[in-house]
Amino acid sequence: MNEVNIDTVIDFLKSLQDNICDALEVADGSGQFVEDNWQRAEGGGGRTRVLTNGTVIEQGGVNFSRVSGNKLPPSATAHRPELAGRSWQACGVSLVIHPKNPHIPTSHANVRFFVAEKEGEEPVWWFGGGFDLTPFYPVEEDVVHWHQTAFDLCKPFGDNVYAEHKKWCDDYFYLKHRNETRGVGGLFFDDLNQWDFTKCFDYIKSVGQGFIDAYVPIINKRKNTPFTDHQRQFQLYRRGRYVEFNLVFDRGTLFGLQSGGRTESILMSMPPLARWEYNYQPQAHSPEALLYERYLTPQNWLSVQ
């Protein structure tokens, strides 16, 4: 089946936003997401949900948006010039969770759908998304669990899907000016339309559910781990890398700003607190040094791929 049905995608994305928020509220134990509905003058709108100052989550946002327009921004047509002159619709769920406890990683996930149309021609469509993990004090079993969940959800869609989308994630979430990955990776993909519409949509559904299955168990394992002010300060320092990536490299941020999206919703991915320190160097043989030495370089985290 290759018939595009954006309304079905919209219904799924809204239910995914609900399910993720529900799961995170249970894991937090006290915090609740506050919803902010918004409209975009050029077409479309969305609902932004933010949880602040929870028991576990310092700040987290889970966004749903559906936006449209008659002309694509430069960030979209730069590598797809054939889309110039088409009307378009884009919808998706995107989230970033910044926990208080440095032993719980920051996490990001995104699933999205894009279609561009022109009278008399077939629509051009694709899916994109993925999820990635940014630990400060990594526990290897958590990283293995994260990647095992990714591997398992990819398996029904092809033997090479996990390896391809893991590598894409490692390559995309890479800070060139720091010569390090943003974290331990996961899955990332864009321009997904090599299967028919139904199979591509099924994959997106698996990725959305997979984020919950991958992340919530890590929260539950680590949320009661004691931490020191030294560890908190290192967490805030490493959050600065998140800011650097989102403002310098992230295509989604650029697309949102260039297409006239809601700035508060686009930048909800930023941490509530972060710090920078000139020429920071971790102490040799410290847990902080281990992060740099082992976890900020692409690794084979599974015995089978």
Total domains in the chain come to 1
Residue 109 lies in a domain: yes
**177 appears as a binding residue in the annotation:** yes
pLDDT number for residue 86: 84
19-71 pLDDT per residue, tens: 999 999 999 999 999 999 999 888 889 999 999 999 999 999 999 999 888 87
Residue 234 lies in a domain: yes
Residue 169 lies in a domain: yes
**CATH code for the domain of 169:** 3.40.1500.10
Q: Is the pLDDT of residue 216 over 50?
A: yes
pLDDT number for residue 43: 85
**183 appears as a binding residue in the annotation:** no
Cα(62)–Cα(64) distance, rounded to whole angstroms? 7
**108 appears as a binding residue in the annotation:** yes
Q: What is the mean pLDDT of the chain?
A: 93
| pTM exceeds 0.85 for this model | yes
**79 appears as a binding residue in the annotation:** no
Residue 194 lies in a domain: yes
**111 appears as a binding residue in the annotation:** yes
pLDDT number for residue 77: 63
Q: Is the pLDDT of residue 208 over 50?
A: yes
Going by pLDDT thresholds of 50, 70 and 90, the confidence category of residue 304 is very low
pLDDT number for residue 305: 43
Residue 22 lies in a domain: yes
Residue 235 lies in a domain: yes
Name the residues annotated as catalytic: 108
pLDDT number for residue 303: 72
> Domain limits at 136?
6-274+285-295
Residue 280 lies in a domain: no
83-101 pLDDT per residue, tens: 777 888 999 999 999 999 9
**98 appears as a binding residue in the annotation:** yes
